[in-house]
Amino acid sequence: MPVAYLVPFESVSEAQFQHSFALNVTAAFFLTQGLLPHLGAGASVINISSYFANKMIPKRPSSLYSLSKGALNSLTKSLAFELGPRGIRVNAIAPGTVDTAMRRKTVDNLPAEAQAELKAYVERSYPLGRIGRPDDLAGMAVYLASDEAAWTSGGIFAIDGGYTAG
Active site residue ranges: 65
Widest Cα–Cα separation across the chain:
52
Identify the bridge partners of residue 48 per DSSP, sorted by sequence position: 93
| Cβ–Cβ < 8 Å for 20, 63 | no
Question: Strands 89-95, 44-48: parallel, antiparallel or unpaired by DSSP?
Answer: parallel
Mapping DSSP to helix (H, G, I), strand (E, B) and coil, where does residue 161 land?
coil
SS3 for 41-55 is CCCEEEEECCHHHCC
The answer to whether 92 and 76 are in contact (CB under 8 A) is yes
